[in-house]
Structure 1
Amino acid sequence: MTEQKLMATDYHRATSYRRHELTPHTLDWAHQPMPVKHYPELPRVPLDRSGKLPAVDYFDLMNRRQAIDSSRPEALDFRKISTAFSLTHDITARTMHAGTPFYYRSVASAGALYPVELYLAVHHIDGIDPGVYHYHLFNFCLTALRRGPVPEIPPADHGVSATFYITGIFFRSAWKYRDRAYRYVLLDAGHLLENLRLALGALDLSFSIHLDFDDERAATLLGLDSQREACLACVHLHEGNAGKKQTVAPRDLEPLSAEIRQASTVSDREVAYADILAVHRAGNGINNTPAEDRPVLHVLDNPPSAWVDLNLPDHPGSADYARMLWQRRSRRNFIPSSGTRENPMTFLDLMARNIGTVSTPPSVRSAITLGVLAGMGMPVPPGFYLLDPDAKRLGCVLAGQLTEPMAAACLDQMWLKHAALHVLFMTDPAALDRTWGARGYRYAMIEAGRLGQQAYLAATALGWGACGIGAIYDREAADLLDLATDGVLLYLVGAGPVKTR
């Protein structure tokens, strides 16, 4: 990618898959990226597993709308923070693959490569000193990177007790996906962000999500090597003494040591893909576009010809959220089903109500368009539909059985044709570029990942399986859906009944 090709449209086009044009690529297993960051000898703080996980019904949790509330009197303590980490990103099972242990996690990841990392900046939490900490998933502990008061990044209007930071390490995904990996790093950041959002909601905490901040300042705060690892999302906790501005004023940050920054290197033979660095840097900085300025996405040339109401059941059922989170898996052994109307409609309602939640920034709410491919056995005829989240209805764009040709467009992963439905996350990169520049691509991909994680959870709650697909013959899929010239399919999640043991 040249210096003139810095926008999302150019990156997406340059990294598109085309049938018969994929360059052979052998995985360098001898230099596979490490799944854990290794820091020099730094103090560790064991997290507390003694707290009970919240007994929250998943369907009730979907009805909650978190907002900043600085009037709550209780202080945020270490045990509650520990539970938040457990509900956000934890080991859920262990198995052996070719003599090597493999650990299942509570969050989905493209290729099970897990490029994302989680950090915590503590301002005032009972039981833990102020500073910046890195979350060690396998040891369930925090590594202290900075000690003492630190500034809020990004600055907040309400007092902040702590801030979670989600980062992505490019090479963990690029080891397999090369220059296309930026797509998957952003999707995986969205997967993790949704788990964090739901964890904080289950704990009844007040929080705000931020995708706009000074990238370099955040990297300095966290001690990242910005050539290899980037901050992608911030979540402020407004709890306890949040009404009082107790955090330090913005000031110059001293860079952390070279040894700490070296931890962003996860292999001794890394490849830096210029396309990834170029498109990410093009989106650096704070987006000052007014919140009311939204892109007009031109995804389809032809609007839906007819609309169908979801007609939701009165009682969708119940599912213990924490238990369900531990049961989530990528499952692809779909079976054709002629089941009841309730499950598909409940699934689509859960997707619709999570588009543009109150806790997400206004920008991301208009960054994507959601579609559905209905397969056989659905309560609507097979075809391609748009999902209208406000009116809770489906609009028919194309009639016909499209799940099989879409499976072919997904690099011939033909098991996908048996899914009851395909959830389609689409956007118009040119419109994102015009409105927000290259940073708009982050909004769209992170939001697609966030909703994709929700699709996994909704499927699990209904006893279904789900599997996300980012490997797509891009133009082939767009032609199948008859998308507009600038319309693209970012991500697809197949969902539906699966074989059970």
Structure 2
Amino acid sequence: MYKANEPLELTLLYHLNSPPPGGHTKQVPATEMRYMPEAPIRELPAVPSDNYLTNLLRKRHSVRDFQNTQMPLIDLAQLLDAACGINGLRQVEGYAYEGRNAPSAGGLFPIELFVSTRAVSDLSDGLYHYEPRHHGLHWVNESTPQDFVTPLLQQDYIANANALLILTGVFMRSLCKYSTRGYRFILLEAGHQAENICLMAVELGLGSLCIGGFHDMSVNHILGIDGQRHAALYCLAVGSEATAIP
């Protein structure tokens, strides 16, 4: 058991003690979960149907059946850039910060992005680390999405995905400034980047699946990270959605 004497120790107290559940608790009826169910409702104007972002949001859904097909390398590049690509510099109170496609508390960018690929044009299958400052890939090892099926709790529908993106957190980047509150910021930032990936997938005509259930130690081992100062937080599978057979 970890003691909570320092920010990293308190972070690990929660992080390492929140594995996938071994069972299910009793489901609470939806009517009991509503907030202020008896309060009067003030209706809002209808959302315009020609709003581009609204249409992307409506098309986004979880895909659990991917086609065994090839993904153009440009599509992968756009997915990675959407998550955390650099889009310029920002001047804030006399300091220069990188402007990225997802917000980060204090401009500290604790999230790192790995991608395991299969059948991406002009790219060898395997595991890569994305470097946003050069918009390029570092080779890590030969692990493809199939190698993550068991660590991802036997979710074998990811095997035909072209890309399995894994968002990881380097905890002390945020904790050094925001102490234990920094852990919350890291989780929020993983969510920001994941939503960007999902929306870019829709824009490219691809399907996506967000995955939060996995064996931490197994995923961290494949990535080659220690799981304590640097750990996996969130996974997303992306590929072409299989066409339903009538």
Using structure 1 for the length normalisation, give the TM-score: 0.42
2:48: which partner in 1? 52
Counterpart pick for 2:24 among 15, 23, 26: 26
2:35: which partner in 1? 37
Cα distance between partner residues in 1 of 2:144 and 2:44:
48
How far 1:387 sits from its partner (Å)?
1.2
Counterpart pick for 1:476 among 203, 210, 218: 218
1:335: which partner in 2? 67
Query: Counterpart of 1:403 in structure 2: which amino acid?
Result: P
Q: How many residues align?
A: 229
* Map 1:3-18 → 2, pairs under 5 A: 4=4, 7-17=10-20
Cα distance between partner residues in 1 of 2:123 and 2:149:
20
> Cα 1:33–1:421, aligned 2, differ >3 Å: closer, same or farther?
farther
- Per-residue CA deviations over 1:340-390 (Å, capped at 9, x if unaligned) read 333223323333437853783542541211121112334311122111222
Preserved CA contact (<8 Å) 1:422 1:493? yes
How far 1:448 sits from its partner (Å)?
0.5
1:323: which partner in 2? 55
1:264: which partner in 2? none
Query: Counterpart of 1:419 in structure 2: which amino acid?
Result: A
Counterpart pick for 1:443 among 185, 188, 197: 185
- Per-residue CA deviations over 1:83-122 (Å, capped at 9, x if unaligned) read xxxxxxxxxxxxxxxxxxxxxxxxxxxxxxxxxxxxxxxx
| CA RMSD, 1 decimal | 2.8
* Map 1:167-182 → 2, pairs under 5 A: none
How far 1:34 sits from its partner (Å)?
4.2
Preserved CA contact (<8 Å) 2:71 2:162? no
For the pair 1:488 / 2:220, whether they are aligned, the reply is no
Preserved CA contact (<8 Å) 1:9 1:433? no
Preserved CA contact (<8 Å) 1:338 1:376? yes
- Per-residue CA deviations over 1:253-274 (Å, capped at 9, x if unaligned) read xxxxxxxxxxxxxxxxxxxxxx
- Per-residue CA deviations over 1:413-451 (Å, capped at 9, x if unaligned) read 111121100111111335543442211111111011111
Query: Counterpart of 1:52 in structure 2: which amino acid?
Result: P
Cα distance between partner residues in 1 of 2:31 and 2:232:
29
Query: Counterpart of 1:487 in structure 2: which amino acid?
Result: H
Cα distance between partner residues in 2 of 1:364 and 1:7:
23
> Cα 1:330–1:435, aligned 2, differ >3 Å: closer, same or farther?
same
Query: Counterpart of 2:163 in structure 1: which amino acid?
Result: L
Query: Counterpart of 1:48 in structure 2: which amino acid?
Result: P
Preserved CA contact (<8 Å) 2:102 2:196? no
Counterpart pick for 1:344 among 58, 61, 76: 76
Preserved CA contact (<8 Å) 1:9 1:430? no
1:424: which partner in 2? 166
* Map 1:58-457 → 2, pairs under 5 A: 320-353=52-85, 357=100, 360-363=103-106, 365-398=108-141, 400-457=142-199
Which structure 1 segments of 5+ residues have no match?
56-319
> Cα 1:32–1:52, aligned 2, differ >3 Å: closer, same or farther?
closer
Preserved CA contact (<8 Å) 1:367 1:427? yes
Give the percent of matched residue pairs that are identical in Structure 1 and Structure 2: 19
Cα distance between partner residues in 1 of 2:2 and 2:148:
32
How far 1:32 sits from its partner (Å)?
5.7
Q: Secondary structure at the match of 2:48?
A: coil
Query: Counterpart of 1:12 in structure 2: which amino acid?
Result: H
Cα distance between partner residues in 2 of 1:39 and 1:32:
11
Q: Secondary structure at the match of 2:139?
A: strand
Cα distance between partner residues in 2 of 1:341 and 1:33:
46
How far 1:4 sits from its partner (Å)?
3.1
How far 1:397 sits from its partner (Å)?
1.8
Cα distance between partner residues in 2 of 1:323 and 1:11:
37
Preserved CA contact (<8 Å) 1:428 1:488? yes
- Per-residue CA deviations over 1:245-289 (Å, capped at 9, x if unaligned) read xxxxxxxxxxxxxxxxxxxxxxxxxxxxxxxxxxxxxxxxxxxxx
Preserved CA contact (<8 Å) 1:369 1:426? yes
How far 1:38 sits from its partner (Å)?
2.2
Quick check: which has more Rg, 1 or 2? 1
Cα distance between partner residues in 2 of 1:347 and 1:474:
24
How far 1:493 sits from its partner (Å)?
0.6
Preserved CA contact (<8 Å) 2:113 2:167? yes
